């Protein structure tokens, strides 16, 4: 089923020059980039994004980290996109992420794990709407989309 998912490259991913590497992986997999922007998150935006983690032991450090530098927001579209992007990112804790995933190839931290992606369809709708107006999502055809169905 064709799905949309929200992906954010975190300040460590931007600061380490891994934006292109992440985009390259998703593009080569066959996913379609339909939304893209860059911003440094305010504390209030970060609190909205991570509201389900409020009160957890790592929450304050997470908000400090995610607001510490620029981030890149993206919407990717494709067959089973939510699950496939999660698998390409790897386990939340980079120390447990499989080699071959973005976190397993480039990270060594639990908190500084380079990239975020929606964990399910409702989250994807909520997170996309948090960062993008529908008018900012671009409709176009990839070359030969029939190879990716
Ligand atoms: P993310 O997928 O963006 O969702 C919540 C984030 O909180 C997670 O990636 C990590 O950056 C961070 N996080 C989750 N659990 C922990 C933890 N136990 N210790 C430190 N950071 C965590």
CB 77 within 8 A of CB 138: no
Structure tokens at 31: 């996913």
**How far is 116 from 126, CA to CA, in rounded Å?**
14
Tell me, using a 6 A CB cutoff, whether residue 110 lines ligand 1.
yes
> What is residue 2's three-state secondary structure?
strand
* Domain regions of the chain by residue span: 2-138
CA 8 to ligand 1: nearest atom = 3
Q: Which fold has domain 2-138?
A: Alpha-Beta Plaits (3.30.70)
Considering only the C-alpha atoms of the chain, give the largest distance between any 2 of them, rounded to a whole number of Å.
47
Residue-level pLDDT at 62: 98
CB 22 within 8 A of CB 117: no
pLDDT tens, position by position, 51-62: 999 999 999 999
Atom 13 in ligand 1: residue holding the nearest Cα: 111
**How far is 84 from 5, CA to CA, in rounded Å?**
10
Atom 11 in ligand 1: residue holding the nearest Cα: 111
**49 catalytic per annotation:** no
Q: Which residue has the higher pLDDT, 79 or 148?
A: 79
- b/e for 100-133, b at 16 or more Cβ within 10 A? ebbbbbbbeeebbbbbbbbeeeeebeebbeebbe
- Average pLDDT across the chain, whole number: 97
Cα of 67 vs centre of ligand 1, distance in Å, is: 14
Tell me, using a 6 A CB cutoff, whether residue 93 lines ligand 1.
no
Tell me, using a 6 A CB cutoff, whether residue 68 lines ligand 1.
no
What's the rounded mean pLDDT across residues 55-80?
Answer: 98
Each as own residue / partner, the long-range contacts of residues 144-148 (CB below 8 Å, 24 or more positions apart, any chain) are: 147/30, 148/30, 148/78, 148/79
Q: What is the pTM of this model?
A: 0.96
Cα of 62 vs centre of ligand 1, distance in Å, is: 7
Tell me, using a 6 A CB cutoff, whether residue 111 lines ligand 1.
yes
CB 76 within 8 A of CB 82: no
From the candidates 49, 53, 110, 116, give the one annotated as an active-site residue.
Answer: 116
Asked if the model's pLDDT at residue 111 lies above 90, the reply is: yes
Residue-level pLDDT at 102: 99
**How far is 28 from 20, CA to CA, in rounded Å?**
12
**How far is 37 from 65, CA to CA, in rounded Å?**
19
């Amino acid at each position: 089923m064709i799905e949309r998912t929200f992906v954010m490259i975190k300040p460590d991913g931007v600061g380490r020059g891994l934006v292109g590497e992440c985009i390259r992986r998703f593009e080569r997999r066959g996913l379609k980039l339909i939304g893209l922007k860059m911003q440094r998150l305010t504390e209030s935006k970060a609190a909205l994004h991570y509201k389900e983690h409020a009160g957890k032991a790592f929450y304050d450090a997470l908000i400090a980290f995610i607001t510490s530098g620029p981030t890149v927001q993206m919407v990717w579209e494709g067959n089973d996109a939510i699950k496939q992007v999660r698998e390409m990112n790897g386990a939340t804790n980079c120390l447990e992420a499989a080699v071959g995933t973005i976190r397993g190839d480039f990270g060594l931290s639990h908190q500084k794990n380079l990239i975020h992606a929606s964990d399910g369809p409702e989250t994807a709708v909520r997170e996309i709407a948090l960062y993008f107006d529908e008018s900012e999502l671009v409709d176009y055809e990839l070359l030969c989309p029939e190879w990716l169905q």
